[in-house]
Each structure stands twice: as structure tokens, then as C-alpha cells.
Structure 1
Amino acid sequence: MSVNDTVTLIPKGQPLKGQVSPPGSKSITNRALLLAALAKGTSRLDGVLKSDDTRHMSNALRQMGVSIEEPDATTFVVTGSGRLQAPEAALFLGNAGTAVRFLTAAVTSVDGSVTLDGDDYMRKRPIGPLVQALRQAGLSVDSPTGCPPIQVRGSGKITATRFEIDGGLSSQYVSALLMLAACGEQAVDVALIGHDIGARGYVDLTLACMRAFGADVTELDANTWRVAPTGYVATDYYVEPDASAATYLWAAEALTAGAIDLGVASDTFTQPDARAQTFIAQFPNMQAEINGSQMQDAIPTLAVLAAFNRTPVRFVELANLRVKECDRVQALYDGLNAIRPGLATVEGDDLLVAADPALAGSHSDCSINTHADHRIAMCFALAGLKVSGIRIQDPLCVGKTYPQYWKALESLGVELEWVKA
């Protein structure tokens, strides 16, 4: 299929019922892949996500001498020597933000030169704060545009004793430095500049994963961690289901008054986006203001759900959404107003959704530009459950994190109309 193809959901006006198992967590899978690659020995990762993002990460690690086998659809078996080798060619990472950011730090431990690059979308995504933090610690890292491509020249060892990072733009910068720090020659402190950090819960995910692979991390204060020079130990590791993916299914259940069994309770997730279920459970009486800073990937789901709420909802602290796969604040504004003019307003980095329950059962002859962003495609599919005529462009971009998304909806009784360009 081409990026110009579209899919339209045919509203049935009936509850969605059935059982759907969300894929493994993308965030945890890419952390576990990297840590297993940095460990000496063989690790078995079960419950993993197999998608575009994790494929880019695993392929890059293979280029650097790591053996990665895939015995089934939800398992990686990773065998590493305890260090990454310089690749013969540039690492192409598509638009996988976790892969680019985590590897930018990790490959500074390589003895040799490494170039990291991505697609046109990735070349617009900032990495300057991470590059600056690495350079200030004495590492040779260069990114002329402040975005990929990035050139790294490693000496084969990490002698830094302190990294300082502004994590306000992305918690992934902090996670990248923390995971690298365990590979140091001596203990390394990772310190936040300022007190703001995007989605701090993802740093907690990183620390949990690091400890599972043998790292020794001490929290010195609210903004500083000390990481011992332990390296990593091969281990068997289970990856929990993806909470961000689960939000679409929770929202589809709420929108249609359905009953969708995910096979996992919302309160068992450790990922920050799982807190979105609290707001979804309020539908159609969602609260007037929702802070998106700590559950960023769930905001597109909540914003589309809010369009059918009884009262308007303001989403605040969304600055980080502007530097995702696309400017998601703008994409949500454009998409909601394509469905019905005036449905959304942007004020600074706030998004105000002018809720209207009467949208359900209406028709909108509109086309949603997904900007090749999986989350924009998946969230606007929710609107298509209630409003006829919505065409979603480039529907296969969901392969970035949830390749089986459309099949999952079909398994619940959703009818899809595919149109090839």
C-alpha cells in the first residue's frame, strides 16, 4: 500500500465486544534490547513488540556485532559480548525516537566512528540537549542541525563522572544517559538541570529495566542519580503489554459502551500512559482540564474522546507533543477541525476541545492527514467509530508500534473500507 491510501471505518452504532491482547510495550522493548546487547551473555526477552521501531533498534544492534534471534512473534534472544562494535555503515533508524536517542548515548562507548541517521521526519526531531550533555562530558558527538544525522567518535571507554541534562524536552535524553552511565569506568552521576522533566515515569521504567539487567543506581536527590560502573548482566526479561496501545481499546470501549477484555488490568501497568484510563473511565463526563505532561502519548486518544464528551476539555502542558513524530498539537487541531470546524482551539501549547455529544451519528466528508504518525492514525480511528465518512490517510503507519491495530478493530466487529490511491 502507498502513503496516499486511506481507510474509513463504517460506524455500526453498536457496542464493541470481544478480547484483544495489546502488543508488547515499545518503550520497554527498546530499553531491554539495548541493555541485553550491552550485557555479556544471552538474554531472552519475552512479550516483546515486533514493529518498525523495534526493528530499527534490533537491526542497528546487529550492525554492531550483537546476535539477535527471533524464535517467535513475541521473543528476542539477544547475545552480546559486553560491548558494541563500530558498524561498517551508518545506522538508519527511521523515525524511531527511542532508538535514535538511546543509541546516540550508547554508541559513545564504541571504539570507532558511528553515524546515526533517520528518515525525513526524524531529521526534524531535536536531539541537541542530549548531544550537548555528551559533549560537555568530554565525548565526541556532533549534530550540525541539532537533529539527526549525528556523528559519534568513541574511544572504547567512558571516563566521564557526571552528565548534566535538561530533560524538559524529552525524558528519553535522561534515560539515554542513565543507561550509558552503567558502562562507565567509574561511578557516574546523572543530574537534571532544572526541575522539569517530560514524562518522568519513563525514567522510572528505565531504572527498573537497568536494575533487572544488574545495574546499581542510587537516587541522591530528586534530580540526581549515581550509577555504579557495573555494566550489565544477561538475564531473561518479560516485557509488559503496551499501555499506549491499550488506551485506544479502552477509549473504543467507552465510546461504544462496549466490553473489551485486554487480558490485563489497567492498574497492573507500570507505564505512565496507563493513567489515561482514569480519565477515560470518566467519559462522557471527563474533567474540564487534563495535564498531558506525564502521559504524552495518551493525549491524542483523550483529545479525540473528548470531542464526544458532554462538556469541553482543555489539555495543558503539551509542549513535548510538538516534537514527537509530528507536531501532535497541530495535527490534533487540524484533524478535529476537519471533522467539524470549531471543534478544537489552540492557545499556546494548550488544546481546547469543544465537546459535542451530537457528533455521534453524524457524517463528515473529511480526510485526516496523519503525517505518517501512528498515534494520529490510531486516535482518529476512534472518531470513525461514531462519525461516518472520515478517511484516514497512510493507515499502515500504525506499523511503527501496533502493526495489528486494524485487525484488532476488525476482530471486535469494526468494518473497514480500504481505498488504494
Structure 2
Amino acid sequence: MSARPYITVTPPNVALHGRIAPPGSKSITNRALLLAALAKGTSRLTGALKSDDTRHMSEALRQMGVTVDEPDATTFVVTSSGRLQQPAAPLFLGNAGTAVRFLTAAVATVDGVVTLTGDAYMQKRPIGPLLETLSANGIQVEAPSGCPPVTVTGQGRLTARRFEVDAGLSSQYVSALLMLAALGSEPVDVALRGSDIGARGYVDLTVEAMRAFGAQVEQLDAATWRVAPTGYVARDYFIEPDASAATYLWAAQALTGGAIDLGVADDAFTQPDAKAHDHIAAFPRLPAVIDGSQMQDAIPTLAVLAAFNETPVRFVGLANLRVKECDRVAALHDGLNAIRAGLASVEGDDLLVAADPALAGTRTDAVIETHADHRIAMCFALAGLKIAGIRILDPECVGKTYPEYWNALRSMNVQLSEGIEA
């Protein structure tokens, strides 16, 4: 195996203080980029995230004839004819799940064939339920493995009247279809097949963003939305800070007894992961059971925090974490047990963290396999605030959503050392 870079966090042994502005929301940035590309005219997106995921989305839009300018570090200016054009080459989307799923639906309106692909991790991430409902509505799609690469043959228009989708695995399938539905020639219903939906709050984010860009969306019942054939209109749009990124700062504050000013009120976030704040504020008395189904990206943060809790914590509702950038249930289990054998166990999709406040102040020779997953790297850095010796592999993977994460820690005088794992 080739040598791999790692980073080690030196426990500061003091309360962390500082002012750190979280990056813009990845979830909202990628929704806004696509909606602006589907709107005729020029939209200015401010407060945006510039990261690997949003770079993949913006590059794909450029390949399809959309002008995307970046006048500063937090702004995209998107100018479009309102239609996506057939790209000259496949769209490479790295491991950006939002980009792949949203664009797989959106390119159904392209006049021609579009192939969407990604890295080795993306090629293991299921997209079958989305492809099934597109195919049922006469849109030609091909993905032999049920994962990217995906080939979509668009007809330049959308004639569907009703999309039905199983969203138990991911709410992104619903969001993708909703954003596509506004491009129809007549009203389109988007309906859940079954009652389960992962992280429903992200669908609410999608609907809010769609309405901001001129769409008319009516929720008929808990499982059905009706979207009018309005298309989209260009506008200026502010993107709020990323709640998932905020969870690391809230947890760093809780673990060290510090005070970190995020520059935004804790209750100002509309993203689902903001629900984690109340749990983090309860540390070291987290509840015995935490349901992760509606705040999935916050679970890695909470799982590491639970290692230092006064009592054990069972995390439930984690099925969707199995198909994220990596199998996060397994990655959290393995990482926690690398710190101390028996610290975590798995029952089905539940993660059980044994909890041991005495871990604080200890030393370990644990090596954390991140699987190039940004959230695994960032959450185990939190463990490094209390335990010496933890080596986190492939630390640059944080660039997927929070490129300045390590610098944010340094700004609070946290010492980081870098090395190469042979």
C-alpha cells in the first residue's frame, strides 16, 4: 500500500475560544446553482460554499452551456438561457451525491445523451429508485450497476405527469424530481412510494429554494407535492451558513468548555442538521437514544461526542448513512474501536457508543481510516481535542465541504502535526 498523509490534533488542554464563520451551506449552494442554471437570465448567489462538491456542480453546468463566474470567495454569478445543453463529454462529479442525483433528473430536459459519472466511491452509491421513476415516465436511463455511471437520453422536454419514488434511502431523489418537475409542460405530481423518507427537512429546503426562483409548489398531503409548469426566474439569493459544519464547532465548544462565536444565532439555521444543536448543548448528558434519520450528517459529530458522554448512547435511524460517501456506520464503529476496543458496537443499522468520560486526557496510537470521507475526518478531529495520538488519514478530504476546517482549528491555537503513514 502506498504511503498516505495524516494529521494529528494535539489536545489543547484549554477551553477553545474564537470567532469562526462556518462556510456556506453545501446543500443549499448546490440547489441554488442548479436552479439558477435552469432560470433564464443572471442570478447572483452570495454566501455560497466553494468546495469540491460545489466545484463539481458548477463545472458540470459550465459543460452544459451555463456561464458560472466567481467574482469572490463566496459568490457565484450564474447566467443561463434557461436550458441545459448537451455536453461534449461525460459529467465527472467526484463523490458529490447532490450533484449526481440532482443532475440525473435535470438532464432529462437536455436534447441528447448525457453521461454522469464520479469517482470510485460514487460508483458504489445507489441511484436506482430515481432511475426507476424516470424510466417509468418514458425517460431513457441506463445504469447497469444501479449506481453511477448513468446515461440519460433526454428529449428536450418533460412530458411526465406524475413521479412516484421510493425515498426511504435518500430524500435527494425527491428533491431531484421536484426541481425537474417545474420544467414540465403541465403540472407534475411528485409522490412518495411508501411512507419512509430520509431527512424530510432537506425536501423542505428544496421547496423553499424552488419558490425563491419562481416555482409554485403545493403540498397536497404528507406524501405528495404538485409542481406547476412555471419554470424558473433568475434572482439574487443569499445562502445561509452550513449547519453540518457548525456541528463541529458546537461540539468543539462543548468538549473543551469554550465559547466559539459563529457569527450567526444558533437558532437561525433552517437546515435539518441544526437539530443536533440541542443534543450537543446537553453534553455530557446526551439522551440514551438519538434518532439520526432527520439529521444524518450530524451523526458522526454526535457519535464522537458520545464517546465522552456520561452514559452510553444508541444511535438509530442510520440506514441512509450506509450509502453516504462511505458506510459511515461502519467507519464510525471502526474509528471508535481503534481509539479503544469495545467503545462502539453495531446492531443492524444501530450504532451503540459505550461512552467513557475517562478517555479524556489519555493517549492512543489509533489510525483513523477516513475512506476519503470529509465527515469522518472532521468528527475524529474532535476526539483529538481530548485524546493524544490520533492520526487521521487523508486529511485533505475535508475539501469536499469545508476546505478551511484545519485552519479553523489552528485559528483557535489548536496545534496540528502532519505526517506520512507508511
Residue identity matched to 1:363: R
User: Matches of 2:378 and 2:160 in 1, distance apart?
Assistant: 42
Q: Which letter does structure 2 place at the counterpart of 1:388?
A: A
Letter in 2 for 1:123: Q
Q: Which amino acid aligns with 1:158?
A: L
Report how far residue 32 of structure 1 moved. 0.1
Task: Name the counterpart of 2:190.
Answer: 190
Distance in 2, Cα, partners of 1:206 & 1:166: 17
Unaligned 5+ runs, structure 1: none
Distance 1:158 1:125 in 2: 26
Find the aligned partners of 2:148 and 2:384 in 1 and give their Cα distance: 35
Task: Report the aligned-residue RMSD.
Answer: 0.8
- Can you list the C-alpha shifts for 1:17-40, whole angstroms capped at 9, x where unaligned? 000000000000000000000000
Instruction: Using the TM superposition, give the Cα deviation of residue 232 of structure 1 relative to its aligned residue in structure 2, in angstroms.
Output: 0.2
List aligned pairs for 1:114-129, cutoff 5 A: 114-129=114-129
Deviations 1:244-279 (A, max 9, x none): 000000000000000100001121100000000010
The 3-state SS of whatever aligns with 2:197 is coil
Partner of 2:71: 71
Per the alignment, in what secondary structure is the counterpart of residue 113 of structure 2? strand
Q: Is the 8 A contact 2:143 2:151 kept in 1?
A: yes
Normalised TM-score (structure 2): 0.99
Q: Deviations over 1:325-377 (max 9, x none)?
A: 00000000000000000000100000000010000000011100000000000
4+ runs of 1 displaced by more than 2 Å?
none
Matched to 1:268, the amino acid is A
Identical-pair percentage:
74
Equivalences for 1:94-105 in 2 at 5 Å? 94-105=94-105
**Structure 2 match to 1:145:** 145
| Cα deviation, residue 3, structure 1 | 7.8
Measured in 2, the distance between the counterparts of 1:141 and 1:322 equals 25
SS of 1:281's partner is: helix
> 3-state SS of the aligned residue for 1:268?
coil
Q: What letter is aligned with 1:23? A: P
AA in 2 matched with 1:337: N
For the Cα contact (< 8 Å) 1:41–1:233, is it kept in 2? yes
Q: How many aligned residue pairs are there?
A: 420
Counterpart residue number, 2:374: 374
Kept in 2, the 8 Å contact 1:3–1:394? The answer is no
Deviations 1:189-233 (A, max 9, x none): 000001110000000000000000000011111100100000000
Give the residue type in structure 2 aligned to 1:380: F
Partners of 2:317 and 2:17 lie apart in 1 by 34
Rounded to whole Å, the distance in 1 between the matches of 2:407 and 2:118 is 28
Q: For residue 261 of structure 2, what is the aligned residue in structure 1?
A: 261
Q: CA deviation at 1:420?
A: 3.4
Distance 1:219 1:254 in 2: 39
SS in 2 for 1:420: strand
SS in 1 for 2:57: helix
Cα pair 1:218 1:227 within 8 Å, conserved: yes
Q: Give how far 1:137 is off.
A: 1.1
Rounded to whole Å, the distance in 2 between the matches of 1:192 and 1:161 is: 14
| Counterpart code for 1:252 | A
Letter in 1 for 2:318: L
> Residue 253 of structure 2 aligns to a residue in which SS?
helix
Q: Distance in 1 between matches of 2:234 and 2:270?
A: 22
1:407-418 matches, cutoff 5 A: 407-418=407-418
- Is the contact between residue 315 and residue 351 of structure 2 (CA under 8 Å) also seen in structure 1? yes
SS in 2 for 1:193: strand
Partner of 1:363: 363
* Distance in structure 1 (CA, Å) of the matches to 2:228 and 2:285: 48
Unaligned runs of 5+ in 2: none
User: Does residue 47 of the first structure (1) align with residue 51 of the second (2)?
Assistant: no
The one-letter code sitting in structure 1 at the alignment partner of 2:34 is L
> In 2, are the aligned partners of 1:42 and 1:78 still within 8 Å (CA)?
yes
Question: 1:281 aligns to what?
Answer: 281
Q: C-alpha distance in 2, partners of 1:146/1:71?
A: 38
1:26-63 per-position Cα deviation (integer Å, ceiling 9, x unaligned)? 00000000000000000000000000000000000000
